[in-house]
Amino acid sequence: MGTHDVVVVGAGLAGLVATAELTRAGRRVLLLDAENAASLGGQAFWSFGGLFLVDSPEQRRLGVRDSAELALADWFGSAQFSDDGSDRWGRAWAEGFVDFAAGEMRSWLHRQGVRWFPLVQWAERGGYTAGGHGNSVPRFHVTWGTGPGILEPFVRALLDARAVGLVDVRFRHRVTGLVVTDGRVTGVRGDVLRDDHAARAVPSSREVVRTFEVEADAVVVATGGIGANHDLVRATWPADAGRMPERMLSGVPDHVDGSGIAAARDAGAAVVHAERMWHYPEGITNHSPVWSHHGIRILPGPSSLWLDADGHRLPVPLFPGFDALGALQHITRRGDDHSWFVLDKTILGSEFALSGSEQNPDLTGKDVGLLLQRVKPGAVGPVETFAQASPEFLWADTPAELAAKMNALQGDARIDAATLERTIVERDRQVTSGLGKDLQVVATNQARTYVVDKLIRVAKPHRLLDPAHGPLLAVRLSVLTRKTLGGLHTDLEGRVLTPDGEVLPGLWAAGEASGFGGGGVHGHRALEGTFLGGCLFTGRTAGRALASDVS
């Protein structure tokens, strides 16, 4: 038809993987992205690089006994797929992804030079019954090099393909619509934006220089989700989960606005489960922002007291690191825009990590010397910087002083000093007993039976009011937008479906735009480490299937 076999819209991880698979098969690809070359790789560049791997050598070396059967049970327990048929494709993609995570994913990436930090992390523990949400065992494998380390082989493949003329990359090309001819998607149209040479993820100009239209045998939409479009997030958030606050932080750059999903829907594609989202309640304002409302997520250990805006502990099992979405929904149902961690200096040093490649320079830079600092007492550099520079980190010697600072920051009097002190004292008595009935204290003790948690992630239980571990610290937490769990409805090859369930010829989708597969591979809840993995799996699957489909 045209000079290109396939147009791939979006140069994030899913788009790069799909492009790599297509060009490896000799297909000619036009890769379009609204941002400039500095932002190649999209959101994945900023990620912690965590991958959900099952029964890996890293797990086995640590004595972790995992299996595909256990992982799939955990996935289904978290997803809670609907039985009305709407999750048919999402469930099928989930089965395929777990097989991939337990099988070919690690060796496929390893052959391309990807490596992992040997200490596997335990994210989203759940805390419910065996059939409920959460990971039964540690599965969060942090990539050596974090997000840039995952991107590297696919960026290299892109450069190699461009050198031999198999791919044409056009930045500052914003797709606004799909071209449909006789019921088939035959190309894309959009705007060429003025190149203002913005740095990576810095908000860029939307001034239109000219329009464009290109044709191809097929189009792949890999434009990500809606996380930076706060109005759309609020409008789409399910009513039974309360309301999203007016003040929110963004965990993604401004260009993650849902425009690619909207363009496909306008061309006849089905969008399903748009109300399913995965945002975080543990956001803090970035003291050095790159994009609008830039927030960073705290990756907490289990010891901090988690208090709502009135100073009351969140209900069991909404402890730090156990059920992020459950905690978020508890907060939004209350109508609050913030909550609090209350801890001490020792817990900060042992348990706080920050998500993102730029917040982990040791792992991102593959700096072994810097990495060894993690096993020493005290907070790692970026956490220490936040602790000193952020006005949302409040230090105090007594509960009364802490309550006064919390109220001053918020400009209200919702934290009662006597109640805060009683809450801390009650918790401390449980720790002092050596046993105790407080389920958070029990869970913290249990976490230390895992060697990695004992070594670098979970502080030895102690009294918060013990001066040897002070001073006290309160951290104000805000809602941080991040991931879209629903999206374009696709079959198991990545072909986009219409509202009546038929294939929309010529259109494919990958990554977050497709709900990481099938319009919702995660169902209602996700397990950490599955977002980057979902981009890899959907990009690879769609690219390979499309390479065979395009003649």
pLDDT profile of the chain (551 residues), mean per 10:
86 98 98 98 96 98 98 98 96 98 98 97 95 97 96 98 98 98 97 97 97 97 98 96 97 97 98 97 96 97 98 98 97 98 96 90 84 70 90 98 98 97 98 93 96 94 97 98 97 98 98 98 95 98 93 59
* 284 inside domain: yes
Residue 238 located in a structural domain = no
In terms of Cα–Cα distance, which of 472, 436, 430 is closest to 344?
Answer: 472
| pTM for this predicted structure | 0.96
Looking at the fold, whether 465 and 519 belong to one and the same domain comes out as: no
- Could you give the 3-state DSSP secondary structure of residue 546? helix
Number of domains in the chain: 2
Same domain, 379 and 416: yes
**Domain presence at residue 51:** yes
Q: Can you give the CATH number for the domain in which 438 is found?
A: 3.90.700.10
Q: Give the structural domain span for 154.
A: 4-223+485-549
pLDDT value of position 367: 82
Residue 549's pLDDT is 84
**CATH number of the structural domain spanning residue 127:** 3.50.50.60
Q: Residue 83 has which token pair? A: 């039985």
Which residues contact residue 219 at a Cβ distance below 8 angstroms, ignoring those fewer than 6 apart? 6, 7, 8, 9, 178, 185, 187, 188, 506, 507, 508
Secondary element (H or E) of residue 543: helix 530-549
What is the dihedral sign for C-alpha 425, 431, 434, 436?
positive
| CA atoms within 13 Å, Cβ hemisphere of 384 | 10
Q: What is the structure's pLDDT at 550?
A: 72
Is residue 259 a part of any domain in this protein?
A: no
* CA nearest neighbour of 141 among 106, 180, 111: 106
Distance set, CA 392 to CA 282, 410, 546 (Å)? 12, 10, 48
User: Rounded to an integer, what distance in angstroms lies between the CA atom of residue 12 and that of residue 46?
Assistant: 11
Report phi then psi at 181, rounded to 5: -125, 115
In this structure, the answer to whether residues 465 and 493 fall within a common structural domain is: no
